[in-house]
Structure 1
Amino acid sequence: MNEFHQKAKTEIQPEKEFIAGSYRWFTYSASVTGLRLICLEDLTTGTIATTTVANPTKRTAAHKAWAGARQSRAAGMPWEILYEMGEKGVDPDQKLEEMFRGYGHASVGDMARLAVDMGKIPMHLCLALFNEGSLNSGQEKSTRYQASFGKALLHPMRHYISDHLPKEDVARLEEEYQSFGAVSLELFAKHKAVLLRAFEQYYQADTTKPAERSALLSRVLDCVRYFLLIGQWSGMSFETSARDWSRIIAELQASPLLYYRRVAQQLEKLLAPTTEEEEVLDYKAEAPGLIRHTAPQLTANRNLHALKQFIEDQTDLLQQVSIHSGFPKRVDQRVSMIEPMYTEGDRLAASYILLEKD
């Protein structure tokens, strides 16, 4: 037991395990995790994606989406519509697939909500998913409340560099890269201890009271998380519609980062597994038929490139704005407020355009 009272952890054994290529499937029964939990680990990256199943024998989310979509073409009451699916001899999967294909509009996918929890992912992926979501929502592991971030390692550099580099060069780069993480953690630990004493003295907190000690620690972590790097390990929970998941997967597939493309493939496999994988795991995915149109979505990349070309050819913006895109070095900061006339969207687009590599 340490100063933050950590509970002893008991290793939870999975119910089933199954290796499929570069992926490892494993599950936990509802008696252990409340709802049956389906987990998929990418053995190449170490990233784990999980989802819960409400009913092991039915595609619950797809079933609800089907009932909602039928409202547009069925005159009956809700129980009469759902009765169609309960009729003897009906193949629910076939009926769902026929209806989804026949209706031909993507709004059906908005009626199926799917939640995914992810672990062993870098903080920058959490940020990317928040920005990609239609509601900009979700929950990431909080650097404010979780002191365990003081042990967070950097996501390995090998996932972001060329496969053609010699192994010895990759090993050397990895060692140097991880040294940044070590410095980050040293600063995190050092200043956490210093600030804890300083805040305790300044606020005259009674640390024998759990509420005051918790509030004090939160203020300290608010400050020391400044030293954390965006590449350090984290985890998150993200819930959205099947339609939105399809779009997010397509956007990640278009990323210049190989790691993001692998995450996209992993998410698609988790939400739309093969028939064999479902049978081995005794798993009914919630709405696999609604995870579609996941090919790389290159529209944003093309538009940003075209916009940059226009700015270069038709304006003097790149001459007026100083941009350093060479080898990293210390830069004297001259910070000024951006005029409020620019929206968050304007600023985001500018960051892509001005820093885009040719």
Structure 2
Amino acid sequence: LVQERLLQSEKMSSVGQLVSGVAHELNNPLTGIMGFAQLLLLRELDETARKQVETIYAEAERASKIVSNLLTFARRRRAQKEPANLNTLIKRVLELRNYDLRVRNIDVQLELDPALPETMADANQIQQVILNVVLNAEQAMKEDDGEGTLRIATKAAGRTVTIAFEDTAETVRRIFDPFFTTKDAGEGTGLGLTICYGIIEEHGGRIWAESEPGHGTRFVIELPVVAGAAPAPRVADDARASTEPVQRKRILVVDDEDSIQKLLTGVLEMDGHSVTIARNGREALDRIAQEPFDLIISDIKMPVMGGAEMHKRLSDDGHPLARRLIFITGDTVAPETRKFLQGVENAVLSKPFRLR
């Protein structure tokens, strides 16, 4: 068991590094697609054209959610408990599995309690548990008759929150035994649900399976409601952005992607601002030495010099722009990026982002 876990841990670490890099590369073009689609929607369009552009935006937003979920699952990091909503975690998992569930004719029925309280939990670990349970039900129904129904319900009772998964597949015994699996060779190690058992125990909860012949299997996850304070992320919230007119500002945009440069330039100039472009941190520092700016919007990962190093140099020099710097990034899950952002007071905008 220990050797299998070590092998799985090493594999997930490699996958995490790969996915993180790919996600960053995908989020840049997705930002361009979503951004320019939003700019088009601000214009006068006929009904047909508007629906087509709305479809482009919606599909790009769907892709961005998939990338975001992949990042959350693939990154290997220390357990970190923070306020989490189980309904949100369930929806994230289903966004990853919706296509496979549909093509396998598995109907998903949700009964999520809208008043479900948050609890302190490691969101990444709980999502892994939810994903494993969904995959187990999906696999069991596939082997049963190729289709079925998966019902997922949440509820609060006293100081506990519960997730119940009910499928229409036949019972599988020894479900939490290490290495026990009904899958073919190469399709699974039999460790998934065993690891889930350990994760839920570490959270002070319980996970168990119930079944009756001919009535499918019911998985239940029960977690205690644990209150706790966690610092709110300093993420720019476009939904609450003021629509009041703002004074003309001199803004330096630092990004190595042409599409992001053009998008931000178009949006900011539309609001009456003056925009200057730099392709990396070193070029930005040269610009700052030559002319004054009111604000910097900068990517974090760039060739030559990234946003973090540029911020450090500005801070070391006591430059006021170090505090008037907004970071944009396509990967807020990478450990080095998270560590940097948690150590500064600057706002961060995750790619892709909404313009209005």
Question: Where on the TM-score scale, by shorter chain, does this alignment land: which range?
Answer: under 0.3
Q: TM-score, normalised by structure 1?
A: 0.26
Q: TM-score, normalised by structure 2?
A: 0.26
More helix as a share of residues: 1
User: Structure with the greater relative contact order (CA < 8 A, sep ≥ 6): 1 or 2?
Assistant: 1
More strand as a share of residues: 2
